[in-house]
Amino acid sequence: MNATPAAEFREYNFDGLVGPTHHYGGLSHGNPASIQNRSLISNPRLAVRQGLAKMRGLFELGVGQALIPPLHRPQLEILRRVGFTGDDQQLIERAWRDAPELLSASFSASGMWTANAATVAPSCDTADGRAHLTPANLIANLHRAFEAKETAKFLQTLFPNPELFVHHPPVFTCLFTVANIFDILDRPIFRKDRRSKQPKQSLVCINSTQTNSSLSNRIPNRSKRALFTTMSSRPPITNFCCTIRKLSLRQSP
């Protein structure tokens, strides 16, 4: 592992800016807040101001703070891919009539939740001394499954220097989709001591060891051990993953 003075490392908090299509679609199965607030009237402008106020608060506390712009929405290509035709207005009108939930998914501003964007292996914990970024596939929820490609492109733009950053594709294949090996390669990974240059124990929460889950669960499992195992097999990240204490935690049904 490259020996780099701890003083050269600094943590940053990334917040996603709320997009103008923010609405309460109730699209996240198992998320009580999502379901209970479904169809309420949203206020994207107020939400943006609240988000910016929170970012400023952290910045004033000395936290490294960064802002991520909203993803492009609506994603009308989603509607075209499932067979809707016409210009943009016609697409929206037809989807509103025939597939309102799909239309809501295409307008979703859920990319604001940057905690779900990617798993980041910090440079101080990887074998090659570079930060490794793996976008989450997010395929457990329809409205978020479209984000991975956009997120990957954005991360490559934000962190372009190959001497410092390595970008990995999302773990997203037909095999994984069929096997229900999802969701999120973004599970909370907590580093024990950020001030030290030495790799410390970290904690990652994995919902289940099984590759399939019962659709009857009120709260679906969204992080599979198989996904983390796949990511950790990438050689430069192996060193990082070896520092992680993995607990198999099952969400309460």
Q: H/E element holding 14?
A: strand 12-16
pLDDT by position in tens, the chain (length 253): 444 444 477 888 999 999 999 988 888 777 787 788 888 899 999 999 999 999 999 999 999 999 889 999 998 988 998 899 999 999 999 999 999 999 999 999 888 888 888 888 888 888 888 999 988 888 778 888 888 888 899 999 999 999 999 999 887 544 344 333 344 444 455 555 555 555 455 555 555 545 444 444 555 555 555 555 555 555 555 445 544 444 444 555 5
The contacts of residue 89 (CB under 8 Å, 6+ apart) are none
Cα–Cα distance measured from residue 246 to residue 251, given in angstroms and rounded to the nearest whole number: 15
SS3 16: strand
Concatenated DSSP letters for 85-103?
-SSHHHHHHHHHHH-HHHH
Concatenated DSSP letters for 54-77?
HHHHHHHTT-EEEEEPPPP---HH
pLDDT for the residue 121: 85
- How many beta carbons lie within 10 A of that of residue 100, not counting itself? 11
Answer whether residue 29 is part of any domain.
no
Answer whether residue 157 is part of any domain.
yes
Q: How many domains does the chain have?
A: 1
DSSP character at residue 251:
-
Contact 96, 130 (CB under 8 A): no
Answer whether residue 104 is part of any domain.
no
Answer whether residue 10 is part of any domain.
no
Answer whether residue 235 is part of any domain.
yes
- Domain with 212, as residue range(s), is 117-253
Answer whether residue 102 is part of any domain.
no
Answer whether residue 70 is part of any domain.
no
